[in-house]
Amino acid sequence: MKIGVFDSGLGGLVITQAFIKALPDYDYLYLGDTAHLPYGEKTSGRILKYTLDSLRYLIDSDCGLIIIACNTATSIALRYIQQKFIPAYAPRVKVLGVVIPTVEAALAQPVSRVGVIATPATIKSHIYATELHKIQPSVKVTEVATPQLVPLIESNNFQYMDNLVDDYLSNFDAIDSLILGCTHYPLIKDYCRRRLPDVNIISQDELMGAKLADYLHRHPEIDSQLSRQGTRRFCVTRTSPSALAVASRLIPDIEVAEISLD
Ligand code: DGL
């Protein structure tokens, strides 16, 4: 069985690359639901529906372990998927998200004031503040929605990124860590580091590879079910010239197939 990686768009390719770098022998199937991007502006009901449609595709395509690389889908849908959907639809499949590993990485060093940037839906769910407080109740968390970032990143438009990042990050006062709580934001981590040089920038591409390797190490019963022929397949629900440009910027020579979830 393969490792499935799901995102609402192409940002999840950055996380997939981190997995491939840490665990190159495994077989990967990537699905980006570009037809419905951005999830971050949609209702919880829509986000849940689209995520379930995508997960069914990955499960039916023989994925035994699925990582929801999308922070928005993790925030809104992961609990339902783990508690209700998977036990009924595919009890042997494991589904993981990105929020808990990110929170663990953020709290691996001493922190007192954490900033979070993410989509409106993720911020509205307060998942980062909730999970940070579960581990460290004293931590002060400021969450800021940054809705203009994903459309610009997905359309490969970085022209005004410095100004936009400047604007958004001016909302934070004296934070010691900043969580980039969206799959796409590793692509703007350098802008954030330039703007906040003394702040620890937590970027999911730098932590998820080690987290997945650690998870498989701790779960040999799952690891032993995963095939290792080094294959990769990348699918989206809608292609466009700018989407293909982003994809090949992230993974040169990538071949992207368009699939239908109907
Ligand atoms: N992939 C989403 C996330 O990580 C961002 C893009 C979207 O809004 O769909 O939150």
Domain of 24 in residue numbering reads as 2-97+207-258
**Which of residues 204, 227, 247 is at a domain's end?**
204
Distance 11 CA to ligand 1 centre (A): 8
Same domain, 81 and 150: no
Q: How far apart are CA 130 and CA 151, in angstroms?
A: 27
Same domain, 139 and 231: no
pLDDT digits (tens, 9 = 90+) for 138-167: 999 999 999 999 989 888 888 999 999 999
In whole numbers, what is the pLDDT of the chain averaged over residues? 96
Q: Which of 10, 14, 46, 72 to mutate to test the pocket of ligand 1 (most atoms within 8 A of CB)?
A: 72
The verdict on the CB of residue 32 being under 6 Å from ligand 1 is no
Catalytic-role residue among 63, 182, 192, 235: 182
Same domain, 39 and 80: yes
Give catalytic status of residue 182 as yes or no.
yes
CATH number of 161's domain: 3.40.50.1860
In this prediction, residue 243 carries a pLDDT of 84
The verdict on the CB of residue 33 being under 6 Å from ligand 1 is no
**Which of residues 204, 229, 250 is at a domain's end?**
204
Q: Where are the alpha helices (DSSP H) in the chain?
A: 12-22, 44-60, 71-80, 86-89, 99-106, 120-125, 127-135, 149-154, 161-169, 189-195, 208-218, 220-223, 241-250
Residues of the chain with pLDDT > 90: what percent?
A: 92
Same domain, 114 and 30: no
Give catalytic status of residue 63 as yes or no.
no
Same domain, 90 and 163: no
In this prediction, residue 155 carries a pLDDT of 82
Same domain, 13 and 41: yes
Average pLDDT over residues 31-42: 96
Same domain, 174 and 200: yes
- How many domains, the chain? 2
Same domain, 134 and 167: yes
In this prediction, residue 69 carries a pLDDT of 98
**Which of residues 204, 221, 238 is at a domain's end?**
204
Give the pTM: 0.96
Q: How far apart are CA 232 and CA 5, in angstroms?
A: 11
- Residue 140, classed as helix, strand or coil, is strand
Same domain, 90 and 155: no
Indicate whether 183 pLDDT > 90.
Answer: yes
In this prediction, residue 201 carries a pLDDT of 98
pLDDT digits (tens, 9 = 90+) for 68-98: 999 999 999 999 999 999 999 999 999 999 9
In this prediction, residue 157 carries a pLDDT of 86
Q: Which of 154, 184, 185 to mutate to test the pocket of ligand 1 (most atoms within 8 A of CB)?
A: 184
Same domain, 188 and 110: yes
Average pLDDT over residues 105-129: 97
Distance 224 CA to ligand 1 centre (A): 31
Cα angle vertex 45, ends 43, 47, to 5°?
70
Q: Which two tokens stand for residue 124?
A: 């509205």
Total number of residues shown for the chain: 262
